[in-house]
Amino acid sequence: MPRYALLVEYDGRPFAGWQRQADQPSVQGAIEAALAKLENREHTIAAAGRTDAGVHGRGQVAHCDMDKDWDAFRLGEALNYHLKPAPVGILRCERVADDWHARFSAMERRYLFRLLMRRAPATLERGQVWRVNHDLNTQAMREGAKHLIGLHDFTTFRSVMCQSNSPVKTLDEILIDRIEGPAGPEIQFRLRARSFLHNQVRSIVGTLERVGAGAWAPDDVKAALEACERSACGPVCPPDGLYLSGVGYPDDPFA
């Protein structure tokens, strides 16, 4: 069965998350239903990561196995046709080796979080940014984030529902930038690691927001990390503004 890699973009707001669910809409379910329109059977796709309800995808990667030897471009176009009107788009489709796997072949995941600072509610980008009504100290957040880089036990920053076998992960990078946009000043957090724990990014951003607001000192992040207690975490921010922005592979099928 020919295997194809899919580069997927989606608006997470209408979905209960990436993973297929029996009684709620999901991104996986939408793509599998579109595949069934092309080859009338049950389809199961695999993804690089499972995003939660309300979380968006700019660079999610999945793979599917087909009976027919499709031209990759035509397969992507056909999927986009049958995905309408769901807010899901196949940006690229490429033929890959039979043993290539969207999840297990990945060497890193990248997330973007957008935080809008203004008193007025988000209107045009509602659900796509987290709005706070106060200014944040970008440099203080960078100082706090330094404590999280590297190999650590991230028990404090993972959901109690996390199914990972170990809370020990290596966080390779956190970049924090202030951007003056047309809707107002925005803080963008970019995080990179081989893999992430459930709610890890939202827990980290929510905690760093407290540092930027002056409620926490940068060194309080270190103390929270070392506590290895979920109760030591700052507030977990909403999914609004969180994007799976990219996945890295040794041989990128979309390069």
Residues 82-129: tens digit of each pLDDT: 999 999 999 999 999 999 999 999 999 999 999 999 999 999 999 999
Residues contacting residue 215 through CB under 8 Å, at least 6 positions apart:
none
pLDDT of residue 124: 93
3-105 shares its CATH topology with 109-246: yes
- Strands (E) in 144-241, as ranges, are 150-153, 168-181, 184-193
The CA distance from 50 to 27, in Å, is 10
- What's the whole-number average pLDDT of the chain? 96
pLDDT of residue 161: 85
- Domain 3-105, what fold? Alpha-Beta Plaits (3.30.70)
pLDDT of residue 192: 98
Residues 63-87: tens digit of each pLDDT: 999 999 999 999 999 999 999 999 9
Q: Residue ranges per domain, the chain?
A: 3-105, 109-246
pLDDT of residue 160: 86
To the question of pTM greater than 0.75 for the whole model, the response is yes
Residues 221-238: tens digit of each pLDDT: 999 999 999 999 999 999
Is 65 one of the catalytic residues? no
CATH number corresponding to 109-246? 3.30.70.660
In this predicted structure, the answer to whether residue 62 has a pLDDT above a threshold of 90 is: yes
pLDDT of residue 181: 81
**Identified catalytic residue from 52, 71, 99, 177:** 52
